[in-house]
């Protein structure tokens, strides 16, 4: 194209180009975020799992589905100490949870709280990683929920209906009746429907009172079921659903509504356990991937102004955590390309091998 067509005169073009080279990329400085759902694992996997979150987030809500589970009051302090050792980072605070089993006693709730737990988590039996000891009968746990309400602990629910003869794709939608029953029975109990994956969950969480909120992962916001077939690294529970579901999730996340906040559900499994005939469920979503990918999504939806609420403020408010941005270390998201590794410590992350349009700077 002739120069004068570009700028109107060759002089203008000459003047313009050096400034374009020097122009600053778009950037956002945020307080370090809160990841409201992480798996830190044990043993060899722990270092990779912990550092993937602790290097970028101020707090992470630590899931208790280790093997053996974090299900006794005495487990809380031990697991927390091993996480702190792996993180080796004074800026990171693990927030501890305990696994609620069918035989969890209401009298233990006070002990869990005194040990420093902020939440208890219910897994439906046999629905996800290490859930053979999960729950089938929710009303049988109502005394435990009552005690949690009295002690101001949060109830985290993996919201999929257990039992035979239900299509996997329908399990979350069918669970919403159980969610509504618990929410109505315990109006002062704070309840989080974890990693929601369908439109009906968004609608139900919005319709229920203020004590009910939901976390959303980055993979449920950017993938659809078409990205899962034949791709074990995208297989997780609840399974990723349709475009219409993703649209509802994106609307909820970008709306700024205080009921929705980020929980990565970063769930590393070794390459061998994913690339095999029967894959483990879980997507590995380290901060170096999730945060630039969310910046891209919010940017594409003209919602960058809501990103801080989704990544920090909304979750901290619900979990009653200190929320003074001035007291938190910061990180920057910059609209410049970043390449995502195809393997991180023997685990394949979300967006493996891709180049993202945003990059993270700590
Ligand atoms: C999680 C895991 O691997 O621990 N897997 C998953 O698919 N999300 C467990 C869970 O949160 O369901
Ligand atoms: Zn999880």
Rounded Cα gap, residues 358 and 287, in angstroms: 13
Name the residue of 281, 347, 348, 350 whose CB sits within 8 Å of the most ligand 1 atoms, as the mutation to test its pocket.
281
The protein residue whose alpha carbon is closest to atom 11 in ligand 1 is 265
Give the contacts of 27 (CB within 8 A, at least 6 positions apart): 332, 333, 334, 335
Q: Answer whether residue 27 shows pLDDT above 50.
A: yes
pLDDT in tens, 32-63: 999 999 999 999 999 999 999 999 999 999 99
From 35, 108, 245, 265, the catalytic residue: 265
Give the contacts of 151 (CB within 8 A, at least 6 positions apart): 109, 110, 113
Average pLDDT estimate for 4-17: 38
Mean pLDDT, all residues of the chain: 94
pLDDT in tens, 54-96: 999 999 999 999 999 999 999 999 999 999 999 999 999 999 9
Ligand 1 geometric centre to CA of 247 (Å): 23
- 162 membership: H or E segment, kind and range: none
Ligand 2 geometric centre to CA of 298 (Å): 23
Ligand closest to CA 66: 1
pLDDT reported for residue 8: 34
Q: Output the ligand 1 site: residues, CB below 6 A.
A: 39, 65, 128-129, 158, 236-237, 265, 267, 281-282
Name the residue of 175, 195, 267 whose CB sits within 8 Å of the most ligand 1 atoms, as the mutation to test its pocket.
267
Identify each DSSP E strand in the chain by its residue range: 27-31, 34-38, 59-62, 93-100, 117-122, 154-157, 191-193, 212-216, 260-262, 330-334, 338-339, 355-356, 359-361
Evaluate whether 127 touches 194 at the Cβ level (below 8 Å).
no
pLDDT in tens, 210-257: 999 999 999 999 999 999 999 999 999 999 999 999 999 999 999 999
Rounded Cα gap, residues 70 and 75, in angstroms: 6
Report which of residues 10 and 276 the model is more confident about. 276
Evaluate whether 287 touches 360 at the Cβ level (below 8 Å).
yes
In this prediction, residue 25 has a pLDDT band, given cuts at 50, 70 and 90, of confident
pLDDT reported for residue 238: 98
Rounded Cα gap, residues 263 and 276, in angstroms: 27
pLDDT in tens, 266-320: 999 999 999 999 999 999 999 999 999 999 999 999 999 999 999 999 999 999 9
Place of tokens 């990841």: 35
**Pairing between β-strand 359-361 and β-strand 330-334 as defined by DSSP bridges:** antiparallel
The protein residue whose alpha carbon is closest to atom 6 in ligand 1 is 282
pLDDT reported for residue 335: 98
In this prediction, residue 20 has a pLDDT band, given cuts at 50, 70 and 90, of low
Predicted TM-score (pTM) of this structure: 0.94
Rounded Cα gap, residues 59 and 94, in angstroms: 6
- Which atom of ligand 1 lies at the shortest distance from residue 128's CA? 12
pLDDT reported for residue 23: 76
Report helix angle 199-207 to 171-185, nearest 10.
10
């Amino acid at each position: 194209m002739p120069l004068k067509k570009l700028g109107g005169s060759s002089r203008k073009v000459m003047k313009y180009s050096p400034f374009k080279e020097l122009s600053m990329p778009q950037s956002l400085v945020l307080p370090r975020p809160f990841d409201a759902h992480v798996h830190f694992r044990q043993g060899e996997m722990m270092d990779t799992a912990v550092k993937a979150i602790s290097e970028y987030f101020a707090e992470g809500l630590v899931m208790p589905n280790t093997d053996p589970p974090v299900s006794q009051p005495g487990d809380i302090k031990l697991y927390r100490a091993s996480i702190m050792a792996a993180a080796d980072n004074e800026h990171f605070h693990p927030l501890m949870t305990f696994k609620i089993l069918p035989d969890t006693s209401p009298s233990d709730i006070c002990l869990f709280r005194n040990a420093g737990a902020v939440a208890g988590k219910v897994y439906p039996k046999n629905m996800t990683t290490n859930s053979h000891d999960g729950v089938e009968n929710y009303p049988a746990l109502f005394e435990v929920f009552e005690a949690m309400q009295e002690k101001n602990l949060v109830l985290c629910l993996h919201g999929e209906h257990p039992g035979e003869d239900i299509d996997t794709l329908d399990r979350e939608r069918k669970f919403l009746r159980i969610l509504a029953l618990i929410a109505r029975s315990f109006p002062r109990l704070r309840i989080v429907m974890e990693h929601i994956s369908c439109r009906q969950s968004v609608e139900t969480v919005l319709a229920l009172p203020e004590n009910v909120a939901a976390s959303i992962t980055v993979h449920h916001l950017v993938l659809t079921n078409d990205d899962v077939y034949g791709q074990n690294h995208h297989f997780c529970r609840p399974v990723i659903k349709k475009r219409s579901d993703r649209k509802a999730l994106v609307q909820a996340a970008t709306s700024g509504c205080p009921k929705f906040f980020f929980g990565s559900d970063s769930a590393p499994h070794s390459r061998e356990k994913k690339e095999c005939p029967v894959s483990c469920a879980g997507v590995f979503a380290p901060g170096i991937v999730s945060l630039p990918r969310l910046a891209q999504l919010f940017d594409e939806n003209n919602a960058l102004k809501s990103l801080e609420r989704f990544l920090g403020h909304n979750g901290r408010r619900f979990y009653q955590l200190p929320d003074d941005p001035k007291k938190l270390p910061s990180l920057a998201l910059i609209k410049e390309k970043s390449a995502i590794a195809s393997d991180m410590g023997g685990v394949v992350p979300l967006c493996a091998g891709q180049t993202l349009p945003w990059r993270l700077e700590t």
